[in-house]
Structure 1
Amino acid sequence: MPTIQYLLDELAHRLQRSATVDTPRGHLVASSRHYGDEDAPRIGVLLNRDLDERVAEYLYSFKIRSTEEKILIPARPELELKARCCYPLRRGHRLLGFLWLIDGDAPDDVVMPYVRQIAEALGEEAEAADDEARRLNELGQRLLRGGDEAEQAAHELREHGFASEGASVCLVAVVRPDQQRSVGLPALSTSAAVQEWRRPGREALEAVQRDVQVLLCGVRAGTDDGVQGMSSRLADELAGSRARIGVSEAGDVEDSRALLRQALLSACASQVFDHLPAAAAWADLYPERLLVETAATLPDGAQPPASMSPLFAPANAALLETVEAYLDHGGDRTATSEALFIHRSTLYYRLSQVQKLIGVDPTDGRSRLGLHLAVKLRRVLHSDVIAFLRNEEMLRR
């Protein structure tokens, strides 16, 4: 079959008009030579490989992703956009991209045979890419399982070009510790955030380990990885699922299992501590992930002393909230009062009540450290993540 570029050039020559093929998300696939009909957005796509956001919003407003018929799109002078014709490129029900012609309509008997051939070529490329993705995802599964096969999996991934020489990997873990299962979550590879993140120098493999969905993000040296931004957008997409996302540091592909442990602990910390974002990065939350990891391995003798137990009784919830806020604000009474919307005299009274109740002075440095640890560890131990932490074998060193 002729290549997409050959077909596009032949069509453009017959029409004496420039033509382009884009992906469903507006990334440039191929472009013909120009015939003097180009506009600013077309030149921008050629230079940047992507559509300007304002132009994309305008074009997609014509429902081009859902139609099977060509659509005529009016000019938009404020965007320096000429009128153009959009031909959806489909194979079966799968949208593979768009063929664009500037300056209105063209004869269907000329254009449609090329539309069908380009769509067929894109479909064959997509099938080959799907097969390759499945192979790479299987290698990613083996890599994360560890053991003897992990080293061979890392070697084969590098041979396939994933995280090759000079590249690093960063792991993103999506978990729902409250339900201990990821059933019902969409495939991460179909996420808009992930698809927009992928570009030359950025690759992603998807793996499922037990009840955890994992992205192995490979980034070539010298490129901006953008993984944290992508993870935040992914968290927005999954907001209704109560999923939490953890992001590891960057490392070598051979270290992927250790990086997965970082991502899992980060996701669990995000689940426990409300002040953390839904997509939490290992590098940004040292105390929280340390508390989460510690709580999962605490022997019985390391539990807070019995003398502190009255503070955790339901009847003393206001005192617990007050002392936790006071400790979180580093003993700043003004900031604590403002955060709790209480008068400073009320704060002084409650802190004195805490001291009477458990015999610990929240204003004393050493006592404050012990009390803060007790409050935070208890929060983890009484959260939904503790069973997940203790059962998840990937968290064991």
Structure 2
Amino acid sequence: MLEELQRVVEVLAHRLGRAVAVDDVDFRLLAYSAHLGEGDEMRARVILTREAPPEALAWLRRQRLGRATGPVRLPADDGLGLLARVVVPVVYQGVRFGYLWLFDEEGSLTDEQLELASAAAADAGAVCFRERVLSDLRMAREGELVRDLLSDDEQVRSMAAARLVEGGLFAPRGDVAVLVARPSPGDRAAVDEDDRIALQAALNTVATRLGDRGSLRLVRPDHAVLVIPSVMLRRTPELPELLRTTSLERLGRTAKWRDVHVATGSPARRLDDAATSYTQALDALRVAEVIPSFAPLVSHENLGIYALLAGRPSALGDQTVHPAVRQLLAADPELFTTAELYLDKAGDARATATELGLHRASVYHRVRRIEDVTGLDLSDGQHRLILHLGIKVSRLLGLV
């Protein structure tokens, strides 16, 4: 698309003898011509960063260009370093794809030149429309194959992996990892079609940064899936946070969505093993949803004992919580917190006291009370294991 769009821009620039640029609907630069003797500070900044700076975006939104149906003359703004411009909507089949820009000092563009600009904008719209159709077809094909890649059927996964590579949709670079993003509801909200479109847009934004054949994307009923080479995650560790913030921006931070949780599965050696990393990411999400300290970014590799527990949800139930844990909760929630921290710190009373802001003697006193309530001896390794596992299971089941 960019080559065709660049050709449209350069032909118009040559015919009018002035600089031309095309942005998308979010005012991100798609194509631009040579300088041709005209320019201002803002043009230089946009070419350098490929997008308009925040102050320019605010100014553009005040112009209400989304309502424009033909060329619009915009005045100069010395404060922003803007010369006067003409902007022409890039529209095709009733769909707005962006804007075509021309410098227009002293209103020098004639009606004939504006007609040429409008025709070029229509050509640019046709290019964008064709690209969108092709992109939708590619995404539909990719989505079907990624669904198969995450299947429970080993043969289906293997065939999908081969087709993704052979079809040029993914370039294998060693092991792969799966990221899963799921909106965290404010009040039992359900993910609707608009939310899924927003998640798809977030995936597309992140995928653009990863480059051609650098990722695979899929939106499921309540979450988004991103499959990437693990090397990208090692080189760009901020990717989970980028996926989270981009998803929040697309969804809109409202009372409906409190946050977006992003989980990362452990690396899988081959593309057709990506389903394992995907399952691990879902397990990590489950943990983050009931244990807030893991949210909003959680990695399966950092779950500790929760990785084992979350991977066997069918084996967990209220009856698996040891009676000692129930007795502790019933007696005093403060004792439960102390017991968990004390066991997390491997029985280190000093570290526990520091974390709780207590004197060590107070911790020892609480440990004795914990032993009295539970009937367990915390100097016994077997008893410590029983209580520690019981506490973690109760957390995972949301009983605390």
TM tier relative to shorter chain? 0.7 to 0.9
The answer to whether residue 374 in structure 2 is matched with residue 358 in structure 1 is yes
Q: From 258, 265, 272, give the equivalent of 1:254.
A: 272
Q: State how far apart, in whole Å, the 1-side matches of 2:232 and 2:325 are.
A: 52
Q: How does 1:132-151 map to 2 (within 5 A)?
A: 132-145=138-151, 146-151=153-158
Query: How much has 1:119 moved relative to structure 2?
Result: 1.1
Structure 1 Cα separation of the partners of residues 366 and 214 of structure 2 = 54
How do 1:277-288 and structure 2 match up within 5 A? 277-288=295-306
**TM-fit CA distance, 1:312:** 2.8
Change (3 A) 1:288 1:170: same
Question: Residue in 1 aligned with 2:103?
Answer: 102
| 2:184/2:257 contact within 8 Å kept | no
What is the CA deviation profile of residues 96-149 of structure 1, one whole-angstrom value per residue up to 9, with x for unaligned ones?
222222355644333212212211221121111111111111111121114322
Which residue of 1 is the match for residue 354 of structure 2?
335
1:263 is matched with which residue? 281
Contact 1:262–1:282 (CA under 8 A) maintained in structure 2: yes
In structure 2, C-alpha distance between the alignment counterparts of 1:189 and 1:168, rounded to whole Å: 25
The one-letter amino acid of 1:10's match is: V
In the superposition, relative to structure 1, how do residues 6 and 299 fare at CA in structure 2: closer, same or farther (>3 Å)? closer
The residue correspondences of 1:104-123 to structure 2 (distance < 5 A) are 106-107=109-110, 108-123=114-129
TM-score (ref. length: structure 1): 0.77
Range with greater deviation from structure 2 (179-188 or 19-28): 179-188
1:306 CA drift (Å): 3.0
Which amino acid letter does the alignment assign opposite residue 11 of structure 1?
L
Amino acid of the residue matched to residue 229 of structure 1? E
Structure 2: distance between partners of 1:289 and 1:180: 27
Aligned to 2:217: 206
Look up the match of 2:164: 157
Equivalent-residue separation in structure 1 for 2:226 and 2:133 (angstroms): 22
- Is the alpha carbon distance of 1:372 and 1:61 closer, same or farther for their aligned partners in structure 2, counting shifts above 3 Å? farther
Q: Is the 8 A contact 1:143 1:150 kept in 2?
A: yes
In structure 2, the CA distance between the partners of 1:144 and 1:165, relative to structure 1 (3 Å rule), is closer
Change (3 A) 1:222 1:245: closer
How far off its partner does 1:310 sit? 1.0
Answer yes or no: is the 8 Å Cα contact 2:200–2:224 preserved in 1. Answer: no
Report the TM-score, using the length of structure 2 for normalisation.
0.76
Q: 8 Å contact 2:230–2:267 — kept in the other structure?
A: no
User: Could you tell me how far 1:59 is from its partner in structure 2?
Assistant: 5.2
Q: What is the SS of the residue equivalent to 1:87?
A: strand
Q: Do 1:235 and 1:279's aligned partners in 2 also have CA atoms closer than 8 Å?
A: no
Cα distance in 1, alignment partners of residues 136 and 232 from structure 2: 28
CA deviations 1:55-106 (Å, max 9, x no partner) are: 6644554366733345555556566554444333233453322222235564
* Partner SS for 2:21: strand
Report the equivalent of 1:230: 242
Alpha carbons of 1:71 and 1:290: their partners in 2 closer, same or farther (altered >3 Å)? Answer: farther
Q: Partner of 1:9 in structure 2?
A: 10
- Asked whether the 8 Å contact 2:28–2:52 carries over to 1, the reply is no
- Summarize the Cα distance change of 1:59–1:88 in structure 2 as closer, same or farther, 3 Å threshold: farther
Paired AA for residue 244 in structure 2: S
CA shift for structure 1 position 6: 2.7
Distance 1:10 1:271 in 2: 55
Q: 1:281 to 1:13 in 2, by over 3 A?
A: same
- One-letter code aligned to 2:169: F
Distance 1:45 1:142 in 2: 41
Give the partner amino acid of 2:130.
E
- Residues 25 and 98 of structure 2 are in contact (CA less than 8 Å); yes or no, is this contact kept in structure 1? yes
- Over the matched positions of the two proteins, sequence identity in percent amounts to 24
Contact 1:3 1:121 in 2 (8 A): yes
What is the CA distance between 1:208 and its match in structure 2?
Answer: 5.0
Deviation at 1:44, TM superposition (A): 4.7
Q: What is the CA distance between 1:300 and its match in structure 2?
A: 9.4
Q: How does 1:315-326 map to 2 (within 5 A)?
A: 316-326=332-342
TM-aligned CA distance change 1:307 to 1:218, over 3 Å = closer
Q: Alignment partner of 2:137: what SS? A: helix
Q: Deviation per CA, 1:232-277, whole angstroms, max 9, x where unpaired?
A: 2146456634664322245442222112112111111211211112
Cα deviation per residue 1:302-322 (whole Å; 9 max; x = unaligned)?
x35434431133x53343234
8 Å contact from structure 1 (residues 167, 220) kept in 2: yes
User: Structure 2 unaligned runs (5+)?
Assistant: none
Contact 1:173–1:264 (Cα < 8 Å) also in 2:
yes
